[in-house]
Amino acid sequence: MADLYIKSLHIIFIVTWFAGLFYIVRLFIYQREALDKPEPDRTILGDQLKLMANRLWFIIAWPSAILTLIFGGTMIYQYPAMLQLPFMHVKLTFVVALYIYHFLCHRLYKQLQNDVKRYTSNQLRIWNELSSLILISVVFIIVLKNEFDWVKGTVGFFLVAIALMIGIRIYKRIRSKKEG
Q: Is 106 annotated as a binding residue?
A: no
Task: Find out whether 32 and 120 touch, Cβ atoms under 8 Å.
Answer: yes
* Alpha-carbon gap, residue 53 to 47, rounded angstroms: 10
Q: Is 91 annotated as a binding residue?
A: yes
- SS3 of the chain: the string is CHHHHHHHHHHHHHHHHHHHHHHHHHHHHHHHHHCCCCCCHHHHHHHHHHHHHHHHHHHHHHHHHHHHHHHHHHHHHHCHHHHHCHHHHHHHHHHHHHHHHHHHHHHHHHHHHCCCCCCCHHHHHHHHHHHHHHHHHHHHHHHHHHHCCHHHHHHHHHHHHHHHHHHHHHHHHHHHHHHC
Binding residues: 10, 91
Binding residues for heme: 10, 91
